[in-house]
Structure 1
Amino acid sequence: MKTADTAQSDPDFAGLIVRCAPKGKVDVLVALIRPFPPRSRPKVTIAASGGGTLTFDAGMAAAGAAVLLPDEVSAFAAGKWPMTPSLSVMVREGDSQIKGVVALNGLREAYHSLLANCGQ
């Protein structure tokens, strides 16, 4: 888990989680303090500090306290993100929006270690 930069994040934004998923895959989630309803389908916008912004439709995990990003986000976590100092994240659901910033130092090593151990 990469925790939020509290000086640049909303109080309800906890950070970013990278975890093992079934079939040796890796999930990327946004951790929240204030959960959304479990059946929510939030829009998540991720902007890399080096440039580039992507928006995804997401689902909920962990009783609404974590936003599960689509599988394609794992490719960014493995490829482009380790070269980026930080990410800005915005999660929108209805009229509610939660923003945060996460520093990515150490992500490359952690991701590769996790990936090597996910299938075991």
Structure 2
Amino acid sequence: MNTSPQLPPLPDHRAPRRHIARELVGLFLIGSGMGALLCVTYAVAPFLTLGLVGLGLCAGGAGTLFGSPLLPRVARVGVGYVPFAIGLAILTFLGWLVSPWTLLCALVLGCGVWLSAKEA
């Protein structure tokens, strides 16, 4: 039975730097992979790529607005509302290219989801 007291290892002063470096490398690889994937998809089907970009911007903007704690007004505009509005503009443009009736159907669908999600 070993009763000698052992001190816990001291924290490495380089650990935060390694953590930040690993995060930055991961974000770089994610950005590079997404950029390459969008380029390849754009070569095959440009409208599909624009639709994916629009959906991604809408989801990112809405996720920032509704998922995160309250942000300062400048951050909410820059990180939430602007990407959401750009994504909606792209999706509206693509809907108009398909058929103007697509926009009316999407508006009716959106109103229905909004009304059914409201609490009484």
TM-score bracket relative to the smaller structure: under 0.3
- Write 1 or 2 for the structure with the bigger share of strand: 1
What's the TM-score, normalizing by structure 1?
A: 0.25
Larger Rg: 2
State the structure with bigger RCO (CA 8 A, min sep 6), 1 or 2. Answer: 1
- Write 1 or 2 for the structure with the bigger share of helix: 2
